[in-house]
Structure 1
């Protein structure tokens, strides 16, 4: 052992002897019997709640708290009569055993200290909804719909775990019925369980629910108090068939509130009063009056910043929408808070007000810094590349201007790639970002070794108002290489070349969830044009466009449709020698035509060698049926039309596949196991392909 190690160890021992930095030997805690994942989750929560790491022993109160939390946690999963066997080891080594039932009837003896606590959960029967009947309200709410609101289906199999019963889930279901009716004007609707019978042997719970919708409310009029000078309250017209709901009323109140805010009445208080009268048709007519207490008008003093002011003042000031000397509008203050909150260098932004002279107030934005650097491990799997792993490093406040840097290195059994992206946000206004990207890729394709290295400079304009899409313009310079080529075009392919191109693109994502989409539309279109005048050696035009559309067909099944097209041309050039092999299309794989592996669906020549497509159109259609809350089954159809030479027609080759799959939903997207069967295999094509991957296919 070296001298400095000996000195360091000696210093630590000395400090320990003096009690400086003394480490407390924390008591041991173990939870078992609730399943491995759930037991570990409960154990971590108990450690946190009991502050185990700060204790040397656990007293009787801490042990009972741990047991109570454990019983509550398993009860939330439907085990309403669970029990716990506690094994308690005292500092002397004596072991005490104590049994707790769900009623928590017998408490521990006192005084008691423990250095180890083992909790074994005896879950017992899991309670689940059995027969659920509803009475009343049939003219408004069908019994089928009421049942769906009370007991949401987890999928086609409708497992007991999906129908888990707890008093909280029953109350939630009753609340859902009342919310559903209230949204349709039945403001006084009530739903209550009039009987609940639990079978303690089977866990089945029979519930009878009584629904009283009451009368439906319609708005007859809405008015407000007279406003002071300078406050422009908008008209509040009422449609003839306007249903009264609390949401509608809040919207009307908010219109009045914003009018007062714009005039600087920061402390305005509003109250809405509803008076009802029974109409001839049995409905209720609601006359709504919005009362106003305006308070005093406030003028804005200069904005201040407090807290972790880690971003340059000029960057912060650019996002301020409050003008000193003008009426103080809380809506402008909130807009400023949101704009500041979008700075990646900040973890949070709060706001408070400080009084200034002459009745003025100064908004003070309290800034919270995020960690300037974050690192994370990356992990994925695909049928072709198999296991993918890597590391990512992100910086969020370079040059104190909230500039961002992302470094990423990813390797798999087939490829190695690296990326460095430097982002300058809000380059020209808040909606325009600039990026500089350096990249490298070495990937083993089915018929050649792809190598690409280069740089991209781009600007992105977010959310173009007229089409609700992001616009990107980019300049790319890259070195393109194709090694060990077995392509049918290898005799004419340029092996090593450089490409300089301009790319223009539009994209829009209106899906409800990008990882697990169930509803919405996403589309994109981009064109890349390369020419020697831009600085490279090759010349081509590459167009790609696509969309994906998702629609629910019920509560537990969905339709997914994807359509993608790509074409690469060499207009203005004398031959295809201007086109690198890297820029051709090689369809096939778990996110393309699923009857084949990655690249295997590309055109072949007469010798059976892969050529690479110059144009392709891919259609993916899926029907997804939920089996449980996390598992779904998929029936899919993929169709591919492609050509190796544009002059041979748009879809010179046509391939089709159908298949089945299972998906397990996770936080990073679905884990997919799918088999695609080829309906039109070529002589060297497989009959089908089994895929295992992570992520939604389109």
Structure 2
């Protein structure tokens, strides 16, 4: 009886082995997890080499189907186990539950069974320092509050490493350039708890030493030193080095500006600083041309002269032509580091002709402005503009012709603005926010018209699995301070177009005369929700919902009067921004004509 049982057992083992070998070279169609309560299946699959990939993902990553092998499966189980342990689940168990084969399609579904166990909780965070300098420098409770890893929460290896770097940065920014940070974990396996003990050696407190500058042939040392956030003898700080490097780059006269602290093994308390620079070419130019649905043929030339009359001054000559601007020419003089390292003074005389659907104007004037960089992501500015405007009275709507229009007038205005931008890309952001607030008061000085105008523009970009969600909201209003209530047509609010509410032509959305010519209004709301999906190579597709409207006076019934459009589009990314083709159609609206838009750059 026993020999017969052994015989059958051998047959079963051989049969199972044959099945396992037969599964090699099968395409993995699915990996199904059972028992994963703390992490999604998609996150677990991303840890695996045998991660199944959809057709779209294979095209985007230019990868083939995943072929099964026993070695890869064992490797993936080990990777998943390591992932769980780094996330605080030390007793996790992962095993193959079953496999399902499709012999006709040569595909394989893998079922993995997971027993997560209990996570390890951080019970306490303690510090140990070789001397009192650490305790005298930091408030330990405030330091703990800034940690990513906190007492009472699940232990995570990535958060521990993040906090070690954070402590090290804080020490360096307090002058302890030669400090070291280590740790030990005291794990209680019965209670599933751990104490985190950070072991700190601050080393000596250091100070900025001599500053050596090289590579600057035409820009003086004095100008560079003026941009430094530290002086010799100040307490050493990496943050001040980074800030100084940013402020040197703000001069816009260097291709390279590298600041290095010359640390040495003897732990000298006076740390020498080396600044290596490479100056940008003195004369540069940019030339571009293209075509868009709204501006038709367009071309521009931008010539920049650095170190204009020596120093860090620069002069720009800009010339542009398009269907919307037959000519736009300006000369911009900029003086960086005016009064302080982060402020720029500028003077900008210009001539400009605008040929919009509702008006044609020639503008000649000048703008004097101050712009200040605040921290890394904020910019504030104030400017004064005086201009003389010549209006083509035959270009405006019929309703305007019934008023006492003048074809020549002057305007003076003061503009205040502040912006915040922490997006990750200038052309096609995938995360971050970009917000702006502008307030304009016309009539400060010689001016035919007096009014106030404000605009708020809020944009957010969220990176989701496989797609980017982009949102925008723009709100603005303009109010006349004259008895007549008249506001110049070129300063009114308009909506509709490729960079506004798609589904309508440029300035088509809002008040119009009997012939359909835009009049413009005094109140505006615009918004967009856009889903951006990268495809293979430089291509991408989007779907979007735009809404908005313009009112002649106060905001109307917003819910009832907002106009909506849905659409889709194609993107082709280039070094100067994406080429954008959009198709949109108004919905919930009497107007249902499909509009297409072709231009350069994202809608927002």
Q: TM-score, normalised by structure 1?
A: 0.66
Residues 30-78 of structure 1: CA deviation (Å, up to 9, x unaligned): xxxxxxxxxxxxxxxxxxxxxxxxxxxxxxxxxxxxxxxxxxxxxxxxx
Counterpart in the other structure of 1:493: 405
Counterpart in the other structure of 1:580: 488
Q: Give the distance between the partners of 1:310 and 1:191, measured in 2 at CA.
A: 66
Alignment match of 1:423 (pick from 318, 334, 337): 334
Structural mapping, 1:342-491, within 5 Å: 342-346=250-254, 347-353=256-262, 360-415=270-325, 416-463=327-374, 469-483=378-392, 484-488=394-398, 489-491=400-402
Counterpart in the other structure of 2:159: 248
Q: Give the distance between the partners of 1:176 and 1:405, measured in 2 at CA.
A: 57
Structural mapping, 1:572-651, within 5 Å: 572-574=482-484, 576=486, 579-605=487-513, 607-608=514-515, 610=517, 612-624=519-531, 626=533, 628=535, 630-643=539-552, 646=553
Which moves more between the two structures, 495-504 or 251-260? 251-260
Q: Give the distance between the partners of 1:425 and 1:175, measured in 2 at CA.
A: 56
Structural mapping, 1:232-243, within 5 Å: 232-234=136-138, 236=140, 239-243=150-154
**1:417 CA displacement:** 1.9
Is 1:672 the equivalent of 2:581?
yes
CA contact (8 A) 1:153 1:556 kept: no
Counterpart in the other structure of 1:218: 121
Q: Give the distance between the partners of 1:401 and 1:152, measured in 2 at CA.
A: 57
CA contact (8 A) 2:175 2:206 kept: yes
How has the CA–CA distance of structure 1 residues 524 and 257 changed in structure 2, closer, same or farther, with 3 Å as cutoff? closer
Alignment match of 2:449 (pick from 525, 538, 543): 538
Alignment match of 1:164 (pick from 63, 67, 72): 63
How has the CA–CA distance of structure 1 residues 227 and 256 changed in structure 2, closer, same or farther, with 3 Å as cutoff? farther
Is 1:555 the equivalent of 2:465?
yes
CA contact (8 A) 1:510 1:522 kept: yes
Is 1:503 the equivalent of 2:415?
yes
CA contact (8 A) 2:90 2:120 kept: yes
Structural mapping, 1:187-202, within 5 Å: none
Q: Give the distance between the partners of 1:152 and 1:439, measured in 2 at CA.
A: 58
Residues 97-136 of structure 1: CA deviation (Å, up to 9, x unaligned): xxxxxxxxxxxxxxxxxxxxxxxxxxxxxx9975142567
Residues 640-677 of structure 1: CA deviation (Å, up to 9, x unaligned): 1422xx39978899573423222225141352221323
Q: Give the distance between the partners of 1:511 and 1:334, measured in 2 at CA.
A: 19
Unaligned 5+ runs, structure 1: 1-126
Q: RMSD over aligned Cα, in angstroms? A: 4.7
CA contact (8 A) 1:516 1:669 kept: yes
Q: Give the distance between the partners of 2:346 and 2:229, measured in 1 at CA.
A: 26
**1:474 CA displacement:** 1.1
Counterpart in the other structure of 2:596: 690
Q: Give the distance between the partners of 1:314 and 1:175, measured in 2 at CA.
A: 59
CA contact (8 A) 2:440 2:453 kept: yes
Unaligned 5+ runs, structure 2: 1-24, 67-71, 145-149
CA contact (8 A) 2:178 2:267 kept: no
Q: Give the distance between the partners of 2:310 and 2:95, measured in 1 at CA.
A: 57
Counterpart in the other structure of 1:39: none
Counterpart in the other structure of 2:225: 317
Q: Give the distance between the partners of 1:373 and 1:672, measured in 2 at CA.
A: 35
Structural mapping, 1:334-349, within 5 Å: 334-346=242-254, 347-349=256-258
Q: TM-score, normalised by structure 2?
A: 0.75
Residues 351-397 of structure 1: CA deviation (Å, up to 9, x unaligned): 14288999744222222333334333334543211232322233454
Q: Secondary structure at the match of 1:534?
A: coil
Q: Give the distance between the partners of 2:439 and 2:27, measured in 1 at CA.
A: 55
Q: Give the distance between the partners of 2:290 and 2:54, measured in 1 at CA.
A: 27
Q: Give the distance between the partners of 2:52 and 2:351, measured in 1 at CA.
A: 47
CA contact (8 A) 2:298 2:320 kept: yes
Which moves more between the two structures, 252-261 or 269-278? 252-261
CA contact (8 A) 1:344 1:397 kept: no
Q: Give the distance between the partners of 2:55 and 2:588, measured in 1 at CA.
A: 28
Q: Give the distance between the partners of 1:372 and 1:129, measured in 2 at CA.
A: 59
Q: Give the distance between the partners of 1:129 and 1:394, measured in 2 at CA.
A: 58
Structural mapping, 1:15-414, within 5 Å: 130-133=28-31, 138-147=36-45, 160-162=59-61, 164-165=63-64, 181=84, 184-186=87-89, 216-228=119-131, 230-231=133-134, 232-234=136-138, 236=140, 239-254=150-165, 256-257=167-168, 261=172, 264-280=175-191, 283=192, 285-296=193-204, 298-308=206-216, 310-325=218-233, 328-346=236-254, 347-353=256-262, 360-414=270-324
**1:182 CA displacement:** 6.7
Q: Give the distance between the partners of 2:62 and 2:373, measured in 1 at CA.
A: 43
**1:556 CA displacement:** 4.1
Aligned residue pairs: how many?
554
CA contact (8 A) 2:416 2:438 kept: yes
Q: Give the distance between the partners of 1:302 and 1:252, measured in 2 at CA.
A: 32
